[in-house]
Amino acid sequence: MSTRTGLLRTVLHSADIDRALTRIAHEILESNRGPDDLVLLGIPTRGVPLAHRLASLIERFGGAEVPVGSLDITMYRDDLAHHPTRTPHPTEIPATGIDGKVVVLVDDVLFSGRSIRAALDALLDSGRPAAVRLAILVDRGHRELPIRPDFVGKNLPSARSEHVNVRLAEIDGADEVSIEGSGE
């Protein structure tokens, strides 16, 4: 399939995303030695439904409910001067708070690391977690900051000129990860 900007290639289908999230949930439980003191915070937009899916899986495998929230990073981004028209999303910290908890930040794609740097700043304005971990559905490389995910669904080497599209049923009506580029 091709689009206006080039070739579009699907790299993860719905079943692949489900398997990746199942593996990540097991890895989070193993790393944390169970579900105790875990809090999942999704980074809008697609990190929020991913966090909810992971929480459901962790509850199923770990036997305990895990608080889920969302962490808006809009005002913490370092590119506001270049892209000032961003719509903020609400930050929703679970009632249990994050102080002394192991917070797992959840996002769809990790690229330069700048969004995660912004998330860390936003998180520290919301409390003092015992530890912060990072769960990513797709790691495409090209880091500009020394940020590394703890849990990765798929490593997807890509060219800087390519774009990774994550579609989730909760937002887009279907689950799929595709990569779009010039095909050169």
Residue 159 included in any domain: yes
pLDDT digits (tens, 9 = 90+) for 108-128: 999 999 999 999 999 999 999
Q: What is the DSSP string of 36-92?
A: TTEEEEEPTTTHHHHHHHHHHHHHHHHSS---EEE---GGG-TTTTT---PPP---B
Strands 176-181 and 151-155: unpaired
pLDDT at 106: 98
Which CATH number is 157's domain given? 3.40.50.2020
Structural domain total, the chain: 1
Residue 127 included in any domain: yes
The whole-number average pLDDT for the span 3-18 is: 85
pLDDT at 140: 95
Question: Which residue range(s) make up the domain with 29?
Answer: 2-179
Residue 38 included in any domain: yes
Residue 184 included in any domain: no
Residue 30 included in any domain: yes
Is the pLDDT confidence value at 26 over 70? yes
In this prediction, what percent of the chain has a pLDDT beyond 70? 91
What pLDDT band is residue 2 in, cutting at 50, 70 and 90? very low
